[in-house]
């Protein structure tokens, strides 16, 4: 007898595989940067592209993760767009040492800095500082994109913060290496020189506070850019740069030899054993995750396909069942998992569908578990599919606000590294309690099925429709059922466009949108990075004690 086909599982699998295929198509387009013509122009100058430079720098065959590939996606269209915000950021291995690499993409407006370019560079530096990761800058940039200078130049989270971070990282002993592989002008000239060591490529690399045209306009001096700030000038006359390289390949090889000599990093003491693949087939995640986000599923089935040997030791299994908590290993690393549950369960109170709602008992359990992981020095992994906290008179009288506040407090004050995977919904205060971007996860990513919003599309659209209809009626307009439906559809479409994972990733609310099968790599590399930065304070929840 042939096996019975699970139609629902097949629908789910088709839906999720199509979503991953769409993700890969979007990434392929983004990886083209400024397009074939600009890539060809770069090659004609004897230069590699940003991604080619990164490929040549990183260890062959070693894992890597890209931060902010979707940054600025769909933004700056009036200026021709800025794929990946004109800068490529990758965590990978250089001479077997995990490093952060930041490479300007000169095919995108000559590597000019848009507002999101600044935000993305600051995110890269933040990750490097949190984890004490060596950071390598591959510089090839025309500087600030002048038509938007007011949005990138003067504020705390703008261009100048980059150099402040250079100085802070230097004082922290975090290695910074900069390669001047193209233009490096004006304020941007400070970045490589505030790094520990700097390299420059002959003929293509240049660094100066003002280029030849500006020098002529300012002081009347006639000079070419190479004499003003080329490789020979800065390695043999000014002494500003430490190494002169004949081409990109030699420059990248030299960086590898420098990194090869770095001393060993500190160890935060996280437990790691030999990695074991999940016993359950990871690809079954596609058939488990419902195509319709309102349908229930058992998060334990997802966890079994993410953790080593599919082994999950559940903490307080029978209590607070709308959140799952427990211990596991991912790629050998010990982790504490906090996950929303959407399963329909039978309890003493009867049948309940949790739907990702956080109840008082669940918040209480999660708070205690987070405290335990801090006590035991175990990194935390949050698996989000949350619609918020339970509302209503019973919940309010039961102290849901107090229990929710305790959970938020525990997440905020956690000293072990936190990693957040948004699997489905990420709504309202549930986003905060489950370690959204505002709560400093070391890395935060979403699957293609993720949604990030203050509330679900249906609820939000109906609320906004009521406001819109009330305003129209106030102006004396007659609203027919057909007009009301048209308004609702328009409002829902606009709202849902802003809740997609791509919208979130374009603004760096997420570090990436990933294939679910990449989740183990992201968590493992994230913990490996965090293992270089032992906690500098003890866990303390202040006045909101457990």
Task: Please write the tens of the pLDDT for every residue from 464-493.
Answer: 667 776 777 677 777 777 776 777 677 777
Q: d(Cα 132, Cα 169) in Å, to the nearest integer?
A: 8
Token look-up 């936190």 returns 418
- The model carries a pTM of 0.92
Q: What is the mean pLDDT of the chain?
A: 90
Check: CB of residue 465 under 8 Å from CB of residue 440. no
Q: Residue 122 pLDDT more than 60? A: yes
Pairing assessment for the beta strands 323-330 and 313-314 based on DSSP bridges? antiparallel
Lowest mean pLDDT among 219-223, 465-469, 508-512: 465-469
pLDDT tens by residue, 205-214 = 999 877 777 7
Which residue from 161, 110, 163 is spatially nearest to 140, judged by alpha carbons? 110
pLDDT tens by residue, 19-42 = 999 999 999 999 999 999 999 999
Sequence-ordered list of residues with C-beta below 8 angstroms from that of 489, at least 6 positions apart, any chain: none
Which residue from 455, 429, 453 is spatially nearest to 509, judged by alpha carbons? 453
Q: How far apart are the first and last CA of the chain?
A: 56
Residue 225: band (very low, low, confident or very high) from pLDDT cuts 50, 70, 90: confident
Q: d(Cα 431, Cα 479) in Å, to the nearest integer?
A: 36
CA Rg value for the chain: 26
Q: Residue 2 pLDDT more than 70? A: no
């Amino acid at each position: 007898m042939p096996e019975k086909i699970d139609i629902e599982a097949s629908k789910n699998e088709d839906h999720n595989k199509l979503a991953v295929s769409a993700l890969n198509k979007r990434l392929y387009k983004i990886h083209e940067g400024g397009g074939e013509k600009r890539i060809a122009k770069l090659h004609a100058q004897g230069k590699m592209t940003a991604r080619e430079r990164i490929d040549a720098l990183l260890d062959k065959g070693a894992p890597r993760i890209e931060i902010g590939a979707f940054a600025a996606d769909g933004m700056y269209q009036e200026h021709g767009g800025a794929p990946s915000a004109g800068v490529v950021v990758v965590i990978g291995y250089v001479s077997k040492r995990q490093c952060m690499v930041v490479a300007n993409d000169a095919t995108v407006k000559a590597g000019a800095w848009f507002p999101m370019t600044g935000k993305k560079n600051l995110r890269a530096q933040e990750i490097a500082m949190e984890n004490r990761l060596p950071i390598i800058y591959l510089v090839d940039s025309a500087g600030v994109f002048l038509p938007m200078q007011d949005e990138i130049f003067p504020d705390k989270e703008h261009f100048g913060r980059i150099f402040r971070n250079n100085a802070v990282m230097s004082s922290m002993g975090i290695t910074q290496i900069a390669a001047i592989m193209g233009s490096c002008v004006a304020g941007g000239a400070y970045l490589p020189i505030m790094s520990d060591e700097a390299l420059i490529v002959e003929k293509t690399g240049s660094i100066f506070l003002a280029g030849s045209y500006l020098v002529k306009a300012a002081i009347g001096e006639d000079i070419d850019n190479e004499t003003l700030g080329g490789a020979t000038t800065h390695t043999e006359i000014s002494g500003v740069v430490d190494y002169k390289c004949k081409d990109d390949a030699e420059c990248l090889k030299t960086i590898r030899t420098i990194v090869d000599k770095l001393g060993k990093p500190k160890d935060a003491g996280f437990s790691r054993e030999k990695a074991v693949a999940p016993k359950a087939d990871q690809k079954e995640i596609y058939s488990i995750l419902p195509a319709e986000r309102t349908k229930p599923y058992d998060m334990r089935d997802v966890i079994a396909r993410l953790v080593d040997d599919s082994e999950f030791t559940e903490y307080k299994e029978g209590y607070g069942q709308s959140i799952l908590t427990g211990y596991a290993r991912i790629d050998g690393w010990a982790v504490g998992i906090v996950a929303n549950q959407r399963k329909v369960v039978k309890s003493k109170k009867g049948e309940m569908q949790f739907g990702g709602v956080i109840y008082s008992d669940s918040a209480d359990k999660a708070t205690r578990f987070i405290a335990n992981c801090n006590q035991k020095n175990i990194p935390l992994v949050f698996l989000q599919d949350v619609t918020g906290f339970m509302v209503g008179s019973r919940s309010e009288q039961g102290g849901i606000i107090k229990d929710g506040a305790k959970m938020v407090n525990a997440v905020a004050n956690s000293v072990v590294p936190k990693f957040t995977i948004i699997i489905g919904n990420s709504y309202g205060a549930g986003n905060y309690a489950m370690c959204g971007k505002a709560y400093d996860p070391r890395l935060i990513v979403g699957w293609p099925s993720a949604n990030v919003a203050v509330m679900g599309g249906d609820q939000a659209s109906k609320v906004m429709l009521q406001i819109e209809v009330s305003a129209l009626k106030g102006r004396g307009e007659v609203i027919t059922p057909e007009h009301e439906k048209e308004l609702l559809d328009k409002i829902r479409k606009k709202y849902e466009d802003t809740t997609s994972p791509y919208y979130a990733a374009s603004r760096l609310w997420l570090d990436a949108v990933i294939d679910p099968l990449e989740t183990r790599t992201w968590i493992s590399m994230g913990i490996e990075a965090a293992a270089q930065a032992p906690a500098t304070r003890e866990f303390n929840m202040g006045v909101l004690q457990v």
